[in-house]
Structure 1
């Protein structure tokens, strides 16, 4: 097991005394800049970016390829340190695995393990006692709609099901923050829509702060309670848009077909194209 896999599911630290547990999911970026390389080969990928995300919000970062969406996500996860400015999650500098569960573009499961084995490993690194793992595993599998798959190998389930396992694994540690980096990009349209609906419902039920990276205006409008459009690299905030669509238990098909949805999608799509061309 790689160190990155291990740290991604590390035990969640207890909230500081006097701190509401939900506030641990708040995010603040102050004048954040991040670049790669040195000297004449230095490239600024992001910044400066100022951003405040209250606990419980579903924030979507959208923009053209290369605008720094994934870089911002890695900074929030604590996988990288900014070269300028500061990142705070729950008021503290983020540590990999301590504040967030992360889902990547590919599931990154262990193919030699069963569905059960992949989730149990995450539960183990999350510090869940052995006696509680079976019930917690069953709860996670039910949450992502994979009841009855515990004994199946990774290569015996579909790509969409593999991504559901990856989401369950990210939820194994009860972190206040869930980060998703284009997790449905490689899936067919029907599976993608179903998983979008699942993630939207899960966010509402758990109350976790969620940051979702995509290049799709349609996906951004359906999922987000707030959308940030980034300019082309170095990525800065081109638009900060609250999404006034209903949340909670809604008819997903009716929502997608509504005039309000179509208007917002067109607005975000235009903003993305304008930001990419600027």
Structure 2
């Protein structure tokens, strides 16, 4: 058995022991910002059930509540109405999920390896085991041999890879990604999309990914939810019946099935934003 397979098997066993499966239950959730005349209903009501291992993509126009919903799932905020549960319990920031933001948010005074090591420390990984685990994580995101490099010495795309490695350091069963590739050039964005898709398939984690892009949604998701304009509600909820393994990325993007689904999602986003 390979080291990657052994690591995944051990992680799956630990999750099974504590009943942590990465499932999400969003029950009649609404969220309001501000008070009085500044009161704004940003989201809801929304009902969603996300089974373990699903790659859910939330897509919609700016201001539709995608990031708000992600923050509620992460436990950064509490819903004004309704309830959010992850693996059957209320979400706890930094415990129930790993999070990747639009900007890497790395510590510039630390090296690449130092940033990952800090995440491993907070994840409770013993100091003696961190070097090996760090090497595995950097290899998984294609950054072998960069552990001693300073953050300003690597590209924006590489910095986002470090952010993904850091989010994977805590072996949570849920990974949340809030427009992580929005600020990158098109080529780097496509390469990182392929990396995230591969990592998702290898680890079997539940993923929730926020984007404006219908193309990105179709390429990454096993399920796509389109939200209406504010207050965000579910306008479209569809499964993606496209192969997730054993297919060339360019071939997939060029297929008629991909083009048809991208057009359907794009039209749904436009209609939801205009409604």
Normalising by the residue count of structure 1, what TM-score does the alignment of the two structures yield? 0.93
Partner of 1:58: 55
Instruction: Provide the rounded CA distance (Å) in 2 between the counterparts of 1:40 and 1:196.
Output: 41
Equivalent residue number for residue 243 of structure 2: 246
Paired position in structure 2 for 1:129:
126
Number of aligned positions between the proteins: 262
Q: Residues of 2 paired with 1:45 and 1:29: CA distance?
A: 15
Q: Among residues 169, 176, 186, which one is paired with 1:189 in the alignment?
A: 186
Which residue of the partner structure matches residue 3 of structure 1? none
Q: Measured at CA, do residues 74 and 135 of structure 1 come closer, stay the same or move farther in structure 2, by a change above 3 Å?
A: same
Give the aligned partner of residue 75 of structure 1.
Answer: 72
Q: Give the alignment partner of residue 170 of structure 2, picking from 168, 173, 186.
A: 173
What is the Cα deviation at residue 16 of structure 1?
7.9
Indicate how the Cα distance of structure 1 residues 17 and 150 shifts in structure 2: closer, same or farther if over 3 A, else same: closer
CA contact (8 A) 1:59 1:212 kept: yes
Alignment deviations for residues 24-70 of structure 1 (CA, whole Å, 9 cap, x no partner): x0000000000100122110000000000000000000000000000
CA displacement 1:198-256 (0-9 Å, x = unmatched): 00010010000000000000000000000000000000000001000111232101000
Tell me what 1:9 maps to: none
- 1:210 matched to 2:207: yes
Of 257, 262, 266, the match for 1:265: 262
Q: Secondary structure at the match of 1:138?
A: helix
Distance 1:131 1:18, change over 3 A: closer
Name the SS of the counterpart of 1:171 in structure 2: helix
Q: Is the 8 A contact 1:201 1:249 kept in 2?
A: no
Aligned partner of 1:115 in structure 2 is 112
Describe the SS at the equivalent of 2:215.
helix
CA distance in 1, matches of 2:175, 2:60: 20
Q: CA 1:193–1:151 in structure 2 vs 1: closer, same or farther (change >3 Å)?
A: same
- 2:90 alignment partner, SS class: coil
Q: 1:32 pairs with 9, 13, 29, which one?
A: 29
Computed over aligned residues only, the root mean square deviation of the Cα atoms, in angstroms, reads: 1.0
CA distance in 1, matches of 2:38, 2:256: 47
